[in-house]
Amino acid sequence: VISELTGTIIKGNRLALARLLTEVENDTPSGRAGLNDLFTQTGKAHLVGITGAMGVGKSSLVNHLAQVFRKPSVEYPASRVAIVAVDPSSPFARGAFLGDRVRMRDLSGDPGIFIRSMAARGALGGLAHATAGLTQVLDAAGYDVILIETVGAGQAEVEIARLAHTTIVVEAPGMGDDIQASKAGILEVADILVINKADMNGIENAERVLHAMLELAQPVQHKGYHAAKAQIGEGADTPLWRTPVIRAIASKGDGAVDIVDAIRKHGEYLKDTGEWISRDHERLQAELDDLIQTTLVDRWKNDLPSGRYVQALGDLFLRRISPHQAVEQLFL
Amino acid sequence: VISELTGTIIKGNRLALARLLTEVENDTPSGRAGLNDLFTQTGKAHLVGITGAMGVGKSSLVNHLAQVFRKPSVEYPASRVAIVAVDPSSPFARGAFLGDRVRMRDLSGDPGIFIRSMAARGALGGLAHATAGLTQVLDAAGYDVILIETVGAGQAEVEIARLAHTTIVVEAPGMGDDIQASKAGILEVADILVINKADMNGIENAERVLHAMLELAQPVQHKGYHAAKAQIGEGADTPLWRTPVIRAIASKGDGAVDIVDAIRKHGEYLKDTGEWISRDHERLQAELDDLIQTTLVDRWKNDLPSGRYVQALGDLFLRRISPHQAVEQLFL
C-alpha cells in the first residue's frame, strides 16, 4: 500500500521528496513510515560512493559526472541522477553548502538531477544509517544513479562506502607530497581510482605510488589475470574486476566520460557475476542486524531499574567486580 | 577471594600465567573465572600500544624498549615488562612467531620479561576483547609496563590502540615514497610518533611530512601552546601534551632511551591531569557496553524460534518488508 505522500514522490514531486528526506534524516516516525511505504520500490538504483580527502576536487568531479550521466549516448539512455553529499567531520554542513552553491549554478533547472547535503549528527553509525535511508528514498523516487559523496577518509567514509555498489576513491598529486595518497583502509574497497588535477606537477609520481598502493591493498586483483584466478581458485570464465586508475581534471571536466564509462562497466560486472545481488543482501542484512542491536539495547536500558547501570559501572571502576561480573549482576 | 591458580600467578608462576592467558584468549569458562578472580588486582600497569605498517621495524624497536625498561636509572627502578604482539591481519601468528624467535634470543632468560603472541581469530571486536583480557591478566600478574604491538594500520589497530594509556605510532622513510606515512585515522590517536630507520635516505622528508600530517590530525596540540590553550578553553596551568616526533634506528637500539623517557613522561602527564583515570574509566565502560550488547544479541537469538530471523531476512531481500518492518516483525 503506497500512501498519498509517497505516491506523489514516485510521480516526481520534488518538494514532497525534499520533505520526506528531512524526516528520514531526523529519523522521525513519519520518516520511518515513509521509508516503510517506499521500500518495495527500492533496489533499482546504482549506488556510487565517491570519497577522498578535502581539497582533491570531489564536488567539482561529481558535478561533471552528473552532467555526463544526463546525456544520452549510443549505448545508454540519459540517467536520472541524485547527489548525496555527506560530511562526517563537520557538525554543520559548511563544506557541503559551499559546494551546493557551485552545484546550483551548474546543475539547477535540470529536473533529472536532485541534490541533497547532509552533515554529521550524532554517532558514526547514525550517519551511515541516515545515509542508507536517504538513498532508499531517492532510489524509490526513480533516480537511476545515486552519487554519494563523502569528505575525508576515516572510518565513517569506509562505512558509507560499504553502502555503495561502486566505490570511487579520488586522489590528487602534490599537497604536501603524497599526504593525500594515504587511506590504506579505503583503497581496499576502491572499485575505481581517480587521480584528479592531472595537469599538476607530480602526476606521474602520484600514479606510480597509487599503483603500488593498490597492489598492496588489493593483491589478488593486481597480480595479473591468471595468477589472480589461481589464487581465488576460480576458472578462466568468471570475469575479475581490476580497479582502473583514471586521470581527471575536474575543473575542466576532463576524464568525466571515462569515469562514467567505468562506473557503468562496473555495474554490468556486478550484475554479470551476481555480486550486485550479494552486495545488496549484505547491505540489507547489515542494516537489519544494526537495527536489531540498537532496538535490543534501547529496550533493555528502558526496562532496567534506574541507577542499576551506574551502580555496576561504579563497582567496575573501583575494581570490586570484573566486566563479566558486572554483566551477570545486570542480567540477574 | 583469590583462588589457588591466580594466587600462583600473582606470585610469579610463568607456566600458570601462560595457561591462563590461553584460556582467556579462547574465552573459556575457566578463562572468565580467572579474569574475575584477578580483576581486583588490575589497574596498575602502564598500557603502551605500538602500531605501524608491516616492515617499519616495530618488533625490533619493542625489544629494545623492553631492555631499556629493564635497566634501573637514577629516576626510575627497573620495570617488569610484558609484550603482547597482535596480528589482526593474519589468521595465524606467522609474523608474530617469526618475531618471537628473534625475541627469544634477545630477551629470554630475564624473569622480568614476559612475551605473548596473538593472531586474528573471529571478529575484530573479538580480537580487541581478547587483547583486553590478556592485558588485564598481565597487569594483575604484576607487570608494570605492557607493550601491546599491532601489525598494520586499519580499524582493528585503532581499536586496540584505544586500549592503551599511551599510543606510539612507528613510521619509516622510503619504502615506495611515503606509503608508510598514511594512517590518517591512527595519527589522531598518536601520543608519541617514532620515525624508525633514521639512517635511511629521505629521513628529513619523512620528518617534514609527518609534522605536517600531525598538524592536520591534531590541530589543537600543534598550533603552539597558547593558541591551543585558548582553543580548548583552558587556563595556562593545565599542561598540554604535544606529540613528540622521535628518530630511532631500531636495529642498533638508537632512540630507545628517548622513547622510554617519552613513555614515562606521558604516563606522568596522564596521572597529573587526571586523564589516566578518565582513560581507564572510558576503557572499562566500553568493555562493559560491548559485553552487554553481545549478551543481549546472543540471548535474543537463542530465544527466537528457529527460522524466524531467516524468514524476515528473506522478506527483506525480496523487498516485501523494510528493515524497520523486519525488526517490528521479529520483536512481536
pLDDT of residue A163: 83
Please say whether the beta carbons of B183 and A155 come within 8 A.
no
Interface test mutation site (partner A, options B182, B208, B210, B287, max chain A beta carbons within 10 A): B182
pLDDT of residue B151: 67
Q: Is the pLDDT of residue B189 over 60?
A: yes
Nearest CA in chain A to B184: A183
DSSP A154: S
* CB pair distance less than 8 Å for B185 and A319: no
Nearest CA in chain B to A285: B313
Q: Please compute, for residue A168, the number of CA atoms within 13 A of its CA located in the half-sphere on the CB side.
A: 34
Instruction: Write out chain A residues lying below 8 Å of B331, CB-based.
Output: 295
* CB pair distance less than 8 Å for B319 and A35: no
Instruction: Count CB-CB contacts under 10 A for residue A259.
Output: 24
Backbone angles phi and psi of B3, in degrees to 5: -75, 175
Single-letter code of the amino acid located at B318:
L
Instruction: Count CB-CB contacts under 10 A for residue A47.
Output: 25
- pLDDT tens sequence for chain A (332 residues): 567 888 899 888 999 999 999 999 888 899 999 999 999 999 999 999 998 776 788 889 999 999 999 999 888 999 999 999 886 554 443 344 445 555 656 677 788 999 988 765 544 446 778 889 999 999 999 999 999 988 655 566 667 777 899 999 888 876 433 434 444 456 777 899 999 988 888 788 778 877 877 776 666 665 555 555 555 555 556 678 889 999 999 989 999 999 999 999 999 999 999 999 998 999 999 889 988 998 999 899 888 888 899 999 999 999 999 999 999 999 87
To the nearest whole Å, the CA of B210 is away from the closest chain A CA by: 9
Q: Pick the range with the lowest mean pLDDT from A32-41, A309-318, B143-152, B311-320.
A: B143-152
Backbone angles phi and psi of B127, in degrees to 5: -65, -45
Instruction: Write out chain A residues lying below 8 Å of B326, CB-based.
Output: 288, 291
Beta bridge partners of A193: A169, A245
DSSP codes of every residue in A69-122: HHS--SS-PPPPEEEEEEETT-SS-HHHHHHHHHHHHHHTT-TTEEEEEEE--S
**Cα–Cα dist B214/B97, whole Å:** 32
Angle between helices A29-38 and B323-330 (to 10 degrees): 100
What ipTM does this complex have?
0.78
**Cα–Cα dist A1/A92, whole Å:** 36
Partner-chain residue, chosen from B176, B300, B317, that has the shortest CB–CB distance to A209: B176
Give the three-class secondary structure for A146.
strand
Q: Is the pLDDT of residue B228 over 90?
A: no
* CB pair distance less than 8 Å for A291 and B327: yes
pLDDT of residue B95: 41
* CB pair distance less than 8 Å for A297 and B300: no
Place of cell 552553491: A101
- Residue B134, CA distances (Å) to A54, A147, B281 in order: 39, 44, 18
Stated as kind and residue range, the H or E segment containing A300 is helix A275-303
pLDDT of residue A180: 42
- The C-alpha angle B330, B331, B332, rounded to 5 degrees, equals 95
To the nearest whole Å, the CA of A304 is away from the closest chain B CA by: 12
To the nearest whole Å, the CA of A66 is away from the closest chain B CA by: 28
To the nearest whole Å, the CA of A281 is away from the closest chain B CA by: 6
pLDDT of residue A171: 84
To the nearest whole Å, the CA of B281 is away from the closest chain A CA by: 6
**Cα–Cα dist B135/B263, whole Å:** 17
* CB pair distance less than 8 Å for A284 and B178: no
Please say whether the beta carbons of A134 and A118 come within 8 A.
yes
**Cα–Cα dist A45/A138, whole Å:** 8
* CB pair distance less than 8 Å for B316 and A154: no
* CB pair distance less than 8 Å for A209 and B312: no
First to last CA, chain A: 44
Average pLDDT, chain B: 81
To the nearest whole Å, the CA of A218 is away from the closest chain B CA by: 14
Single-letter code of the amino acid located at A222:
H
**Cα–Cα dist B194/B170, whole Å:** 5
Instruction: Write out chain B residues lying below 8 Å of A42, CB-based.
Output: 319
pLDDT of residue B174: 60
Confidence of residue B81 (pLDDT cuts 50, 70, 90): very high
* CB pair distance less than 8 Å for B179 and A183: no
To the nearest whole Å, the CA of B252 is away from the closest chain A CA by: 28
Nearest CA in chain A to B34: A322
* CB pair distance less than 8 Å for A323 and B287: yes
List, edge to edge, every strand of the sheet that includes B113-119: B113-119, B81-87, B145-150, B46-51, B166-171, B192-195, B245-247
Q: Map chain B to HEC letters.
A: CCCHHHHHHHCCCHHHHHHHHHHHHCCCHHHHHHHHHHHHHCCCCEEEEEEECCCCCHHHHHHHHHHHHHCCCCCCCCCCEEEEEEECCCCCCHHHHHHHHHHHHHHCCCCCEEEEEEECCCCHHHHHHHHHHHHHHHHHCCCCEEEEEECECCHHHHHHHCCCCEEEEEECCCCCCCCCCCCHHHHCCCCEEEECCCCCCCHHHHHHHHHHHHHHHCHHHHCCHHHHHHHHCCCCCCCCCCCCEEECECCCCECHHHHHHHHHHHHHHHHHHCHHHHHHHHHHHHHHHHHHHHHHHHHHHHHCCCCHHHHHHHHHHCCCCCHHHHHHHHCC
DSSP A144: S
* CB pair distance less than 8 Å for B154 and A184: yes
Please say whether the beta carbons of A153 and A183 come within 8 A.
yes
Partner-chain residue, chosen from B42, B292, B326, that has the shortest CB–CB distance to A330: B292
Instruction: Write out chain A residues lying below 8 Å of B300, CB-based.
Output: 292, 296
Best mean pLDDT range from A82-91, B148-157, B203-212: B203-212
**Cα–Cα dist B150/B168, whole Å:** 11
Instruction: Write out chain A residues lying below 8 Å of B216, CB-based.
Output: 179
First to last CA, chain B: 44
pLDDT of residue A10: 86
Q: Map A159-189 to HEC letters.
A: HHHCCCCEEEEEECCCCCCCCCCCCHHHHCC
Please say whether the beta carbons of A328 and A302 come within 8 A.
no
Report the C-alpha dihedral over residues A307, A309, A312, A318, rounded to 10 degrees. Answer: -90
Interface test mutation site (partner A, options B324, B325, B330, B332, max chain A beta carbons within 10 A): B324
Nearest CA in chain A to B208: A176
* CB pair distance less than 8 Å for A153 and B184: yes
Partner-chain residue, chosen from A179, A184, A284, that has the shortest CB–CB distance to B317: A284
To the nearest whole Å, the CA of A117 is away from the closest chain B CA by: 24
Arithmetic mean of pLDDT, B204-223: 71
- Going by C-alpha positions, the residue among A215, A170, A162, A222 that lies closest to residue B179 is A215
* CB pair distance less than 8 Å for A181 and B179: yes
Confidence of residue B216 (pLDDT cuts 50, 70, 90): low
Instruction: Count CB-CB contacts under 10 A for residue B202.
Output: 15
To the nearest whole Å, the CA of A204 is away from the closest chain B CA by: 13
pLDDT of residue A141: 95
